[in-house]
Amino acid sequence: MSIDHTTDTTSTQITEDQMTTEQITEPSNVRELRAGTTPVDAAAAELRDVERQDQHPDAVDNTDNTDNDADDDGDAGEPAEVTLVDQPGGDSVSWIRRLQEAKREPILPAYLRSWEEATATARWVAGHYVHAAGYHALRSPLYGLRLAVRAPRGALLLAAATGRWVTDAEGRQLRREAVKVNDTAAYMRLSAQRDARVRFRALVLALCLAVGVPALILLPGAVASWVTWACTALALALLGRLGTPADKPVVSPAVVASRFSKLTSDAVTQALASLGISAINQALKADARAIGFVHPIHPEGPGWRAEIDLPGGATAEDVIKNRAKLASALGRPLGSVWPEGRADISPARLVLWVGYEDMSQAKQPAWPLRKGEAIDLFDPQPFGTDVRGNWVSFVLMFVSGVIGAVPRMGKTFALRELLLIAALDPRTELHAYDLKGTGDFSPLQPVSHRYRAGDEDDDIVYALTALRELQKELRRRAKVIRELPRELCPDSQLTTELASKKSLGLHPIVVGADEVQIWFEHKEHGAEIEEIVTDLVKRGPATGIVTLLATQRPDSKSIPTQISDNAILRYCLKVAGQVPNDMVLGTSSYQNGERATQFNFKRDKGVGLLKGVVDETTTVRTVKLNGPDSEALVARARAHRLAAGRITGYAAGLDATVDDTTTAANTLLQDLLTVFGDTDKRWSESLVDALAEVKPDQYGPWGELANGSAKATQLSAALKPFGISTKQVWGTDPATGKGANRMGVERVHIAAALTERDKKSKRA
């Protein structure tokens, strides 16, 4: 079917004398309808407008187009062309386009989208019903006793109900009303009806008694005893159930239901209206349905989820800032109400999650790393759980971190957890500094390359010496990465494969310092420490050096601005005000609704805001690990390191101290010459065994290594700073008496290195 587009235009043209401003500015189809054209003519004109727009898309003219020359000549001018803002058929979007733009809902529910979620849900359901079954099984004798005690009352109630039924007590009120109104006819009908009912019901009762009483007398002797007891128990149970008061149930509840009711749209709307947000209140006055719900409110994890479109002018941030008021309006604990924004969709999109219970009181799922299996720091590792009980994981590599909180909120434990995670990667070189001096990091000693507890001057100098070494190591690593072949390191970025190559020395280094303000405020060394730490924070992550700092007093003196501004991982537990909040989470965080001041001192220990390493600032509850838990985890981490030959520094008895010439690091060469004896070369593993026997306090951990290969690797790492490399040497196995080539050292190289070191010491 086609439409002739050559329709006579004379009917759609008007003369200049007839043209008015109103007609000029009206669309052509409106002018035609005013002129009395038919609907067909209007449709044709509409199509012409569309074609004209397609041919001249830029021809938009909403001004007065009256031609002055036309006025002079007296010729009729063409009517002004007006482009429709709302194109005809604009609402008629094709069904394909609607399907393409529609968001598909997931086929599987949330608890079936992953094996972990499905198994966790199945375990929870199974555990729930197993608990209920065990609870009721244990109390079944009590339930039987309750039924037996209440059976007499049930028998009386049954007799009374039977009497009322036989005597037609339910019709008594009608007969009384008939007497009151003096309705003789109605009364006679009701009386006759009552007499008939009583005769019939009395006959039924008599038959039941005539059959039932003899049966009760004769039944025990006619059937097995268990049948008699079963019938008796059933009768007592029925009578006991009948005699049970409504407020005293027979069965005790195995699970106490939450006192919170289901989250409803009305409750959410009323709560949002009570926040005092003008854009919401004005919209609700104009339209009671101004607040839209994207999906039905549904359970999600241990709570309810509502996805809401706020009215125009209102944002999710407005609601987040008023979280306490929202919780009050909903009648829920503050720790169970968590509004979040979906800025990727719209600033007005709000996701409201309301938990069944307070986050701090909810049971936390088992930490996946509690078994102590070896991990890879280049992969995301679970740090804590969010408000829904889901694990929040992130990559610890390539970041520097700041942790802040008032005392006793879990700041130190959060830092220790991060160090424990790092310890589970056998390649990680761990530096742990407990400047508070209470020994919170003492479980980490068996795996730490550098360890110190305290804030005395020698502790500060020890840390400064180690930091100087790290700064030199940073420069060395940068050079190594820069000079690596492109095919091995195409993006000049450290990878897990490069970190595993011992020859490159690019293994992860994680530095953790608690109460770091003591470093920066030290009168003599504070400035130098600040300079080095700033360098490590800025350039260290790219070379595999991770610096994690914690303080109970987050300000510009405790954590210098250059350090806090370059921190990526930010974790803020309870703080007292806006300034410390923004020092940890970043400038304007408090103004944007990221407020760690909301946490309760008693209730929210170990709960804080995590930022930088997650997509959105997230409330995270850390894992509760006490001293014995940490020690057990470190024991497994040390076992991994022993197997890999990665016990170094403090953990290996080779700690670096200042002005101390008796440490293992300084006496190693002399000790090796001692155990060499008269031999020219020895296997590395036999040298390690000899060192452990001569000086067990210093070299005992080396002797505990799993095998000869691990011992050889350990000695090789210890000799590397002196420029000595191990190589294959011939020796005899004392156990078998057979000769073999194994990794070892020549005595002449040890003597030469010792002589060179002594010369340097004298020159110094």
Determine the residue type at 382: P
CA dist list (Å): 259 to 325, 332, 679: 20, 10, 81
State the Cα–Cα distance between residues 624 and 620, nearest whole angstrom. Answer: 12
Which candidate, 355, 266, 353, places its Cα nearest to that of 316?
A: 353
Two structure tokens written together for 582 = 């923004």
Class for the domain spanning 381-631:
alpha beta
**pLDDT reading at 88 higher than 70:** no
Residue 584 neighbours by CB under 8 Å, 6+ apart? 402, 403, 404, 554, 564, 570, 571, 572, 575, 596
CA dist list (Å): 250 to 130, 139, 154, 235, 498: 20, 10, 13, 16, 68
| In contact, 552 and 411? CB cutoff 8 Å | yes
| In contact, 443 and 636? CB cutoff 8 Å | no
- Nearest 10 degrees: Cα torsion 714, 715, 720, 723: -170
**pLDDT of 384-440, one tens digit each?**
999 888 899 999 999 999 999 999 999 999 999 999 999 999 999 999 999 999 999
**pLDDT reading at 89 higher than 70:** no
Write down the pLDDT at residue 652: 84
Residue 726 neighbours by CB under 8 Å, 6+ apart? 684, 712, 715, 716, 719, 743, 744, 745
CA dist list (Å): 653 to 4, 42, 508, 697: 98, 96, 21, 8
**pLDDT of 261-276, one tens digit each?**
688 999 999 999 999 9
**pLDDT: is 584 or 89 the higher one?**
584
Q: Where are the domains of the chain?
A: 9-99, 115-242, 265-355, 381-631, 661-763
Q: Output phi, psi for 4, to 5 deg.
A: -75, 120
Determine the residue type at 488: L
Q: How many CB atoms lie within 10 A of CB 383?
A: 25
Residue 434 has what DSSP assignment? E
State the Cα–Cα distance between residues 240 and 249, nearest whole angstrom. Answer: 11
Residue 451 neighbours by CB under 8 Å, 6+ apart? 431, 432, 433, 441, 444, 445, 650, 651, 655
In the block, tokens 């405790």 appear at 558
| In contact, 569 and 613? CB cutoff 8 Å | yes
Determine how β-strand 607-611 pairs with β-strand 381-385.
unpaired
**pLDDT of 570-584, one tens digit each?**
999 999 999 999 999
Residue 739 neighbours by CB under 8 Å, 6+ apart? 730, 731, 732, 733
CA dist list (Å): 726 to 498, 645, 732, 747: 22, 15, 17, 11
Q: Hey, is 730 helix, strand or coil?
A: strand
> Taking the domain 661-763, which CATH number applies?
1.10.10
**In the chain, pLDDT over 70 holds for what percent of residues?**
85
**pLDDT of 658-679, one tens digit each?**
444 344 556 788 888 888 877 8
State the Cα–Cα distance between residues 445 and 189, nearest whole angstrom. Answer: 99
**pLDDT of 706-725, one tens digit each?**
778 888 888 887 887 788 88
Q: What is the mean pLDDT of residues 338-347?
A: 85
Residue 521 neighbours by CB under 8 Å, 6+ apart? 557, 558
**Does domain 265-355 sit in CATH 2.60.40?**
no
**pLDDT: is 134 or 220 the higher one?**
134
Two structure tokens written together for 35 = 């002129």
**pLDDT of 252-261, one tens digit each?**
888 776 555 6
Angle at which helices 664-676 and 684-694 cross, to 10°: 110
Q: What is the mean pLDDT of residues 233-252?
A: 87
**pLDDT reading at 595 higher than 70:** yes
Q: What is the mean pLDDT of residues 172-184?
A: 87
